[in-house]
Amino acid sequence: MITALALLVLAAVPPEPEFEASLETETPEEGWARSGFRLGLGYEYEGLIGVDNAPGGSVHSVLLRAGAKIDDVWSLFGSLRYGVIPGERAGLRFGGAIEPTFQLVDGLTLSLGVGVGGFILTTGAATPEPGATTPASVTLTDTTRLLGSCSGAGVLAIARVEYLFVLSGVLSMGPHVSADGQWTRCVEALGRTDPDTGEAIELRQFWEHHALSLGWTFWWR
């Protein structure tokens, strides 16, 4: 009787569950292949070349990119760049662009973008020449004589090739090479005003630049 009762009690007690290691449902590479938001923070070293006497040099830039992977082939990003130009012609270079991005093969992408870029810098040049007077704002037709300073912006076009190494499901990183062209409307304020209109008297000049950049970006998703 007691034995039968004990068997009934044991039968009523559910067995303890057996724990098994769960299988990975998605690899990091598969996660990065899915569509969704992406955020990138990087560094660029630029070699800046000025056309027709426009100032050039090296630029050290911080790059911020954000956007989304749309499908297996296409992504759309916006980029912001803020760079320091060291040396005698010290200054800043900035830019922003919209960059449709095409995936060539796994990890390798090509971006083509257009946006706005500009400068805030001094050249050390004396324009106008000492003793000359400028009664009204003037646009210089060439860059034979540079403005003493430039504060302005213009059209920016950029192409970038990038390769990413997947580190985890949320982090990847990799190098990129980019080339860009920038056409800037520079303005130098002379600190005087037009006596007839009261408007500030400015000197204006158009600069053309091309740059080749090497960089490294960390990406999160």
Tell me: the pLDDT tens digits for 158-196?
Answer: 999 999 999 999 999 999 999 999 999 999 987 777 666
130 has pLDDT over 90 = no
Asked, for residue 61, whether it belongs to a domain, the answer is yes
153 has pLDDT over 60 = yes
10 — phi, psi (to 5°)?
-65, -35
pLDDT in tens, 27-82: 998 889 899 999 999 999 999 999 998 998 999 999 999 999 999 999 999 999 99
Asked, for residue 154, whether it belongs to a domain, the answer is yes
How many domains, in total, are found in the chain?
Answer: 1
Asked, for residue 15, whether it belongs to a domain, the answer is no
Average pLDDT over residues 110-119: 97
Bond prior to 28 in cis (omega within 30° of 0) = no
Full domain range(s) for residue 55: 35-220
Smallest Cα–Cα separation from 67: which of 12, 113, 29, 5?
A: 113
The CATH number that applies at residue 88 is 2.40.160.20
Name beta bridge partners: 189. Answer: 202
99 has pLDDT over 90 = yes
Asked, for residue 19, whether it belongs to a domain, the answer is no
User: pLDDT band for position 133 (50/70/90)?
Assistant: low
User: pLDDT band for position 22 (50/70/90)?
Assistant: low
Asked, for residue 103, whether it belongs to a domain, the answer is yes
Asked, for residue 122, whether it belongs to a domain, the answer is yes
Asked, for residue 137, whether it belongs to a domain, the answer is yes
pTM of the model: 0.81
129 has pLDDT over 70 = no
Asked, for residue 185, whether it belongs to a domain, the answer is yes
